[in-house]
């Protein structure tokens, strides 16, 4: 059993629920890509947990690479400022690329990232995110694989942080407003 800190008001998804959903999403991805070689691109830091679990749930042949893009800093609101802190080490031209994210909130990060990656001429380019906030649905970026749609609350755990903390919670829950007010 995982430890639930006092700062969480509610557990939304347990690790078991996340794992169950990941198995289904992995099966969809396997069915889609078949024998093709797939390059999973994780967006640091949040995607570390979902990358570790998704990649091992897949039967497809996968490689992994990472980008670090920050739009948040330490606050709870997206600043709209997207910076590449670490670029890919792989040349993705002609590769089947699946971007792996923990959460899409405003969609600003991925709007920038997808445009950037598309310009490198991958054979295909899709997105998998474990979680999606309602605001993201207003964004034109199309997301092929979604774990769960979340309510519009500040959520932590399974890679999602508040000021760098709580990423390592195995369960996903809502952060008490007094923590970030």
Which residues are catalytic, by number?
105
Residues 136/107, Cβ–Cβ less than 8 Å:
yes
Stretch of residues binding Mg ion (CB under 5 A), selected from 2-10, 130-138, 157-165, 170-178: 157-165
Distance in angstroms (rounded) separating the CA atoms of residues 120 and 28? 26
Q: Is the Cβ of residue 50 or residue 58 nearer to ligand PRP in the bound state?
A: 50
DSSP codes of every residue in 4-33: --TTEEEEEE-HHHHHHHHHHHHHHHHHHH
**Rounded distance, CA 103 to CA 112, Å?**
15
Q: Which of 18, 29, 39, 109 binds ligand PRP (CB under 6 A)?
A: 109
Tell the smallest beta-carbon distance from residue 83 to Mn ion (Å).
12
Among 50, 58, 62, 108, binds ligand PRP (CB under 6 A): 108
Which entry of Mn ion, Mg ion, ligand PRP, none binds 116, CB below 5 to 8 A by partner kind? none
Sites for ligand PRP among residues 57-86 (CB under 6 A): 70-72, 78
Residue 124 in the binding site for ligand PRP (CB under 6 A): no
Is residue 161 close enough to count as binding Mg ion by CB under 5 A?
Answer: yes
Number of Cβ within 10 Å of residue 90's Cβ equals: 15
């Amino acid at each position: 059993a995982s430890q639930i800190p006092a700062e969480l008001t509610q557990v939304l998804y347990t690790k078991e629920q996340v794992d169950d959903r990941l198995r289904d999403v992995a099966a969809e991805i396997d069915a889609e890509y078949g024998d093709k070689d797939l390059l999973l691109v994780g967006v640091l830091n949040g995607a570390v947990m979902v990358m570790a679990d998704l990649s091992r749930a897949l039967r497809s042949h996968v490689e992994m690479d990472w980008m670090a893009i920050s739009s948040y800093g330490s606050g709870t609101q997206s600043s709209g400022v997207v910076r590449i802190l670490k670029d890919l080490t792989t040349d993705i031209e002609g590769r089947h690329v699946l971007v792996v994210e923990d959460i899409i909130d405003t969609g600003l990060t991925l709007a920038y990232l997808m445009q950037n990656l598309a310009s490198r001429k991958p054979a295909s380019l899709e997105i998998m995110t474990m979680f999606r906030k309602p605001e993201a649905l207003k964004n034109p970026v199309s997301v092929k694989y979604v774990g769960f749609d979340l309510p519009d609350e500040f959520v932590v755990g399974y890679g999602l942080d508040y000021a760098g903390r709580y990423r390592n919670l195995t369960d996903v829950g809502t952060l008490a407003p007094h923590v970030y007010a």
